[in-house]
Amino acid sequence: MTEPIKIDVWSDIACPWCYIGKRNLEKGLAEASHDDDAPEVEVTYHSFELSPDTPVDFEGGETDYLSSHKGISHDQARQMLDRVTGVAADAGLEYRFDVLKHTNTVKAHELLHFAKAQGRQLELAERLMSAYFTEGRHLGREDELVSLAADAGLDGDAARDALRSGRYLAAVRADQAQAAAYGINGVPFFVIDGKYGVSGAQPAEAFAQIARQVWAEHREASEDAVA
């Protein structure tokens, strides 16, 4: 029995490159899934806050945030956003920085851990990122998060209780501690089987190649174990 590849992804809901990386990973794995000996893969998302000091209700738009957070001009910020919007479009994503509501993401991360416990983490990760980058939804607000949880097939009342209780905050902090232990200081970051690290929103083809290479290693290890 060959063990599936485990891909652990550190990302932040508010990271534009993380959504691009998510989409490219999915495309790469879909490509590899057509192989005669298709890799079996388990993907798990982990919490990383790019800007934990961001208020829930940030005053200003995304260019204001970038210029203040990175110490750059508004023109430079707009150029950065134009670039990432183009890369996102290549990945099939239509970013709307004109309506995006920058916010603190810790509650969204808590909700992702609630979703993981319910077996719906991948569905919620997609729904949250889509809502944030393409729909201008406010992911710092409880009602919005509960609504999006319901969209992802989760029970709204249970999601609200999870947010209000704060019982998944420790899991968020544990993810962040693990990221620090791995030396991760930027996202997206992909850890393959706990031993290979891949940084950044790599092209879909790169993820397909990684999956095939690691799956071949799994097959070899499985055959050696039988022998």
Mean pLDDT for the stretch of residues 66-88:
95
Of the pLDDT bands very low, low, confident and very high (cuts 50, 70, 90), residue 227 is low
- For residue range 173-192, what is the model confidence (pLDDT) as tens digits? 999 999 999 999 999 999 99
pLDDT given for residue 29 in this prediction:
98
The amino acid present at 143, given as its one-letter code, is: D
The amino acid present at 138, given as its one-letter code, is: H
| CA 131 to mean position of chain CA atoms | 13
Mean pLDDT for the stretch of residues 68-95:
96
pLDDT given for residue 102 in this prediction:
94
Domains of the chain, earliest start first: 5-226 (3.40.30.10)
pLDDT given for residue 113 in this prediction:
98
Of the pLDDT bands very low, low, confident and very high (cuts 50, 70, 90), residue 79 is very high
- For residue range 140-181, what is the model confidence (pLDDT) as tens digits? 999 999 999 999 999 999 999 999 999 999 999 999 999 999
Of the pLDDT bands very low, low, confident and very high (cuts 50, 70, 90), residue 7 is very high
106 CB-near residues (< 8 Å, 6+ apart): 49, 52, 169, 172
Beta-bridged to residue 41, according to DSSP, are 5
Mean pLDDT for the stretch of residues 21-30:
98
- For residue range 8-23, what is the model confidence (pLDDT) as tens digits? 999 999 999 999 999 9
pLDDT given for residue 147 in this prediction:
98
Query: Of all residues in the chain, what percent carry a pLDDT higher than 70?
Result: 99
Contacts 24+ apart (CB under 8 A), 19-23: 19/88, 19/93, 19/129, 19/133, 20/84, 20/87, 20/88, 20/91, 20/93, 20/201, 21/188, 21/190, 21/200, 21/201, 21/202, 22/125, 22/126, 22/129, 22/188, 23/91, 23/92, 23/93
- Is the separation of the CB atoms in 226 and 219 below 8 Å? no
- For residue range 45-55, what is the model confidence (pLDDT) as tens digits? 999 999 999 99
pLDDT given for residue 218 in this prediction:
94
Q: For 191, phi and psi rounded to 5 degrees?
A: -110, 120
pLDDT given for residue 2 in this prediction:
87
